[in-house]
Amino acid sequence: MAELATVTLLVNGESYSLELDTRTSLLDLLREHLGLTGAKKGCDHGQCGACTVLIDGRRAIACLALAVAHAGADIVTIEGLADDGLLHPLQAAFVEHDAFQCGYCTPGQICSAIGMFREVETGWPSAVARDVAAKPTLNADEIRERMSGNICRCGAYPNIVAAIEEVAR
């Protein structure tokens, strides 16, 4: 028998209070309960990054996050990035640089890149940082390393990196 819990979340600026099975992933809450299908269920094992969203400003793999563990959190999905009908600068750069082919991974790539920008702003080093105490800068190698958890099955990586580099400048 399923155990139910009431979970209240702020999703894309709107508050939701839902009674859920305590085993419900954040991804399933978004897709099945709220109808927000931007975050994709790629592998459902946390390996592809297609379900990446922002939780309290940090990127997270939604298929591995239990919804009940994030009660009260501020969740932002790809649907919540546009501002009054205007694309987020990263969304516009993806279009301009043709940084997608099938588009399946694109929402996760964009949310992950936004989270990556915040990590860089706060000084988080990466595995390719030569000096972990120095303020990180985003070049192509740094972007590839920091985005390595997001897989593009079509191989649009050069255009994805170019789009991210443009916005990082």
pTM here is 0.95
Digit-coded pLDDT (tens) for 61-72:
999 999 999 999
What domains are there in the chain, each with its CATH number? 4-80 (3.10.20.30), 89-168 (1.10.150.120)
The closest of 63, 75, 66 to 22, measured between CA atoms, is 66
Digit-coded pLDDT (tens) for 52-95:
999 999 999 999 999 999 999 999 999 999 999 899 999 999 99
Mean pLDDT of 41-51: 96
